[in-house]
Amino acid sequence: MTSTITDHSTNSTERDLITARHLINGEWLGGADTERMNPARPGELAALSPSGTAADVDAAITAATAAQPAWAALPAPSRGAILMAAGNLLLDRQAAIAEDLVREEGKTLAEAKGEVKRAADVLRFFGSLGWAATGEVLPSGLPDTTITTRREPLGVVGLITPWNFPIAIPAWKAAPALISGNAVVIKPAELTPLSATHLARALQDAGLPAGVFNVVHGKGRVVGDVLARDPRIAGMSFTGSTNVGLGLQEILNARRARVQLEMGGKNGVLVLDDADPRKAAQVVAAGAFGLTGQACTATSRVYVTPGIRAAFLAALTEEAAQYTAGDGFDAKMGAVVSSQQFEQNQAAVRTAVERGATLLHGEYDGGTDAGFRFPAAILTDLPFDDAAVTEEIFGPVVAVLEVPDYEAGLAAINDSRYGLTAGICTDSLAFSTDFAARAQAGVIKVNRPTAGLDLNVPFGGVKDSSTNTFREQGKSALDFFTWGKTVYTGV
């Protein structure tokens, strides 16, 4: 699987992994028939991967089904020790994994290193929970009776993960599933096969038994669909587009399987007159242009009150100029992940301008000879119902609109089909407290970028952003992957 090859890019290094394989029952399988090119360097091969079939999915589920009982029977601290070891291996391999992540996804090297560390920390966090109590002892109204509760694993779970955090999201879904005693079959994003492969290698090298963690690469309409329909899959956790997620939900609901969806976002920030315009601009820019805007929690619409509008826009334009798009190895903002996403960004900005919007910063007619490098874009003078304000773009594009006061701004924030994150920039404790209570989003940020979340806190949204049933990350993540049992014991 890991023959050493020479990378002939300008950053010439020895890479020990360029071909991803399926991992099924502990074996690396599948021919490499799909090429992934570096989005920042046209013509440079970033990765090779196989195209999974229904037979591959069946084999992976069969392996997981066979391996799961023994894995669940292993004491939780022993399961946790394997996750901890895998996290340590990711840290040991951080530099090499981050470089592969830059090449296949396009984000900056600093962002990639941070993501690898996040994946390692997630594994170690959930590994530590192997020593934590998961049940309760409760009083009974009956004499000589003890009541206890237990959390049992679902069995075999399916995971479908996106390309924008190609090692962190697989880790934060897989880790709570594994520590709870489940076996996993994961379908990573087609655009980023190496990142999930690095995670799988770390788990395997840490001693995870064969069949407990299986990887099947390929197209969602093949691998993902078969995975969702198989009756042996007791639950599925999905992160991706709203349309795809809702389609999967119908399939899983039809057979009463558990489903967790984290989907789109159109995250708004309200900037009030009492905010510092420079600090507010830094908060918005970090949320809108960091990670090339390719995060479901990215800031994409801003509502600003009249007294601060001019100063805020001037400061935001200065901030945007610092996010130069380029190769992730040497730029502050990485390349857009694909030609499709690049063209979607261009079309979103172009059509907004054609409808009368002002493009305060950025462009939309650049070519792709130097890669999919899309500059940070600021749109103003849009109607509140413009598509650039209401529909997810998933790029470094932010719309700034004026509102007369706090109440109008809060109403505008809530006037969305999405409800993942929302933010406010203000020095007022009263406004920030009220916003936290009334903003319709799963995560609220006060004077902080909408993107980014600590790994130990619950994450999820409302409306079309999430199923809003089970949260990801933190101890709350264990709830999705387990079911509760109440035990009465008499003496």
Map tokens 């020990």 to a residue: 16
Contacts with 119 (C-beta within 8 Å, 6 or more apart), sequence order: 87, 90, 167, 168, 170, 171, 172, 199
Following CA atoms 48, 54, 55, 59 in sequence, which dihedral angle do they give, to the nearest 10 degrees?
Answer: 90
C-beta separation of 305 from 271 below 8 A: yes
Amino acid at 305: T
The DSSP code sequence of 43-63 is T-EEEEE----HHHHHHHHHH
Closest residue by Cα to residue 356 from 387, 382, 325, 337: 382
The question of whether 425 is a catalytic residue gets the answer: no
The C-alpha atoms of residue 438 and residue 435 are separated, in whole angstroms, by 5
Alpha helices, H only, 35-187: 54-73, 76-92, 94-105, 109-128, 168-179
Return the SS3 of 33. Answer: coil
> Of the listed 102, 212, 236, 296, which one is catalytic?
296
CA distance 90 to 30: 24
Q: Which two tokens stand for residue 123?
A: 């594994």
Coil, helix or strand at residue 452 = coil
What ranges make up the beta strands (E) of 320-476? 358-361, 377-380, 397-402, 418-419, 421-425, 443-446, 462-463
3-state secondary structure of 35: strand
Structure tokens given for 412: 């505008």
Q: For residue 60, what are its two tokens? A: 């992976």
The token duo for 120 is 């390692």
> Widest CA span of the chain, in angstroms?
78
Residues belonging to the active site: 296
